[in-house]
Amino acid sequence: MLPKNVRDDFKIRKAEPLYLIPNVNEPPCLEIRTQALWDEFCAALLEKVSGRLKKDLFRFVQTQHARVAPDGQGRIVIPEKQRSTCALDGDVFVVDMRKHIEVWSRRHIDTKYPDMIKAYRELSDDLF
Protein backbone atom coordinates (compact mmCIF):
# COMPACT_ATOMS: atom_id res chain seq x y z
CA MET A 1 0.00 0.00 0.00
CA LEU A 2 1.28 3.45 -0.84
CA PRO A 3 1.33 5.56 2.34
CA LYS A 4 -1.29 8.31 2.53
CA ASN A 5 1.29 11.10 2.64
CA VAL A 6 2.85 9.78 -0.59
CA ARG A 7 -0.57 9.44 -2.24
CA ASP A 8 -1.35 13.02 -1.19
CA ASP A 9 2.02 14.42 -2.34
CA PHE A 10 1.62 12.81 -5.78
CA LYS A 11 -2.16 13.39 -5.95
CA ILE A 12 -2.71 9.67 -6.57
CA ARG A 13 -6.37 8.75 -6.93
CA LYS A 14 -8.26 5.51 -7.30
CA ALA A 15 -8.01 3.93 -10.76
CA GLU A 16 -5.69 6.64 -12.17
CA PRO A 17 -2.73 5.02 -13.93
CA LEU A 18 0.65 4.60 -12.30
CA TYR A 19 3.72 3.55 -14.25
CA LEU A 20 6.23 1.15 -12.72
CA ILE A 21 9.75 0.81 -14.09
CA PRO A 22 12.64 -1.12 -12.57
CA ASN A 23 15.72 0.93 -11.79
CA VAL A 24 18.33 -1.72 -12.45
CA ASN A 25 21.26 0.10 -10.90
CA GLU A 26 22.85 -1.85 -8.06
CA PRO A 27 21.01 -2.45 -5.89
CA PRO A 28 17.79 -2.31 -7.92
CA CYS A 29 14.56 -0.65 -6.84
CA LEU A 30 11.18 0.02 -8.44
CA GLU A 31 10.27 3.54 -9.58
CA ILE A 32 6.62 4.61 -9.71
CA ARG A 33 5.35 7.65 -11.63
CA THR A 34 1.94 9.23 -12.15
CA GLN A 35 0.71 9.83 -15.70
CA ALA A 36 2.05 13.42 -15.71
CA LEU A 37 5.45 12.38 -14.34
CA TRP A 38 5.62 9.45 -16.77
CA ASP A 39 4.98 11.82 -19.66
CA GLU A 40 7.77 14.13 -18.37
CA PHE A 41 10.11 11.17 -17.98
CA CYS A 42 9.49 9.94 -21.54
CA ALA A 43 9.80 13.45 -22.98
CA ALA A 44 13.11 14.00 -21.16
CA LEU A 45 14.35 10.64 -22.35
CA LEU A 46 13.56 11.49 -25.97
CA GLU A 47 14.96 15.03 -25.66
CA LYS A 48 18.14 14.55 -23.65
CA VAL A 49 19.53 11.21 -24.78
CA SER A 50 20.85 10.68 -28.27
CA GLY A 51 22.22 7.99 -30.53
CA ARG A 52 22.07 4.24 -30.19
CA LEU A 53 21.90 4.39 -26.40
CA LYS A 54 18.72 6.42 -26.67
CA LYS A 55 17.05 3.69 -28.68
CA ASP A 56 18.22 0.95 -26.34
CA LEU A 57 17.14 2.89 -23.27
CA PHE A 58 13.75 3.63 -24.81
CA ARG A 59 13.36 -0.07 -25.71
CA PHE A 60 14.18 -0.99 -22.11
CA VAL A 61 11.63 1.47 -20.75
CA GLN A 62 8.93 0.35 -23.16
CA THR A 63 9.46 -3.37 -22.57
CA GLN A 64 10.07 -3.30 -18.81
CA HIS A 65 7.44 -0.89 -17.51
CA ALA A 66 4.00 -1.82 -16.23
CA ARG A 67 0.87 0.26 -15.93
CA VAL A 68 -1.24 -0.33 -12.83
CA ALA A 69 -4.06 1.45 -11.02
CA PRO A 70 -4.43 1.83 -7.26
CA ASP A 71 -7.59 0.85 -5.46
CA GLY A 72 -9.42 3.18 -3.07
CA GLN A 73 -6.98 2.40 -0.26
CA GLY A 74 -3.88 3.09 -2.35
CA ARG A 75 -3.00 -0.55 -2.86
CA ILE A 76 -1.34 -1.60 -6.09
CA VAL A 77 -0.40 -4.99 -7.42
CA ILE A 78 3.20 -5.03 -8.57
CA PRO A 79 3.48 -7.48 -11.46
CA GLU A 80 5.78 -10.48 -11.03
CA LYS A 81 8.23 -9.24 -13.67
CA GLN A 82 8.90 -6.00 -11.79
CA ARG A 83 8.86 -7.70 -8.36
CA SER A 84 11.40 -10.25 -9.54
CA THR A 85 13.69 -7.72 -11.23
CA CYS A 86 13.77 -5.56 -8.08
CA ALA A 87 13.75 -8.49 -5.61
CA LEU A 88 10.66 -7.11 -3.87
CA ASP A 89 9.83 -9.91 -1.49
CA GLY A 90 8.59 -9.41 2.04
CA ASP A 91 8.68 -5.97 3.63
CA VAL A 92 9.37 -3.02 1.37
CA PHE A 93 10.26 0.63 1.91
CA VAL A 94 8.44 3.36 0.01
CA VAL A 95 10.53 6.50 -0.55
CA ASP A 96 9.12 9.81 -1.86
CA MET A 97 11.80 11.15 -4.22
CA ARG A 98 9.64 14.14 -5.31
CA LYS A 99 9.88 13.28 -9.05
CA HIS A 100 8.98 9.63 -8.52
CA ILE A 101 8.34 7.08 -5.80
CA GLU A 102 10.87 4.37 -5.06
CA VAL A 103 10.03 0.95 -3.65
CA TRP A 104 12.96 -0.91 -2.07
CA SER A 105 13.36 -4.36 -0.58
CA ARG A 106 14.72 -4.40 2.96
CA ARG A 107 17.89 -6.14 1.78
CA HIS A 108 18.54 -3.57 -0.93
CA ILE A 109 17.81 -0.52 1.24
CA ASP A 110 20.19 -1.96 3.86
CA THR A 111 22.84 -2.35 1.13
CA LYS A 112 22.28 1.26 0.05
CA TYR A 113 22.39 2.62 3.63
CA PRO A 114 26.17 3.36 3.73
CA ASP A 115 25.79 5.45 0.54
CA MET A 116 22.89 7.35 2.12
CA ILE A 117 24.91 8.05 5.28
CA LYS A 118 27.88 9.22 3.20
CA ALA A 119 25.67 11.58 1.17
CA TYR A 120 24.09 12.96 4.33
CA ARG A 121 27.46 13.61 5.95
CA GLU A 122 28.89 15.27 2.83
CA LEU A 123 25.87 17.41 1.99
CA SER A 124 23.94 18.17 5.17
CA ASP A 125 26.16 21.01 6.40
CA ASP A 126 25.82 22.79 3.06
CA LEU A 127 22.05 22.37 3.01
CA PHE A 128 21.06 23.04 6.60
CATH of the domain at 22: 3.40.1550.20
Q: Please report the pLDDT score of residue 46 as a whole number.
A: 85
Average confidence (pLDDT) over 2-31:
95
CA neighbor of 85 nearest in space, from 70, 111, 65: 65
How many domains is the chain built from?
Answer: 1
What confidence category does residue 25 fall into, taking pLDDT thresholds of 50, 70 and 90?
very high
pTM for this entry: 0.91
Provide the pLDDT for residue 55.
87
Cα–Cα distance, 125 to 89 (Å, whole number) = 36
| Residue 127 predicted with pLDDT over 80 | no
Q: What are phi and psi of 104, to 5 degrees?
A: -120, 145
Judge contact between 73 and 21, C-beta under 8 A: no
Instruction: Tell whether the model's pLDDT for residue 42 goes beyond 80.
Output: yes
Q: For position 48, what pLDDT does the model report?
A: 85
- Mean pLDDT rounded to a whole number for the chain: 93
Q: What is the DSSP string of 54-109?
A: HHHHHHHHHHH-EEE---TTS--PPPHHHHHHHT--SSEEEEE-SSSEEEEEHHHH
Domain of residue 55: give its range. 4-127
- The yes-or-no verdict on residue 50 having pLDDT over 90 is no
Cα–Cα dist 45/54, whole Å:
7
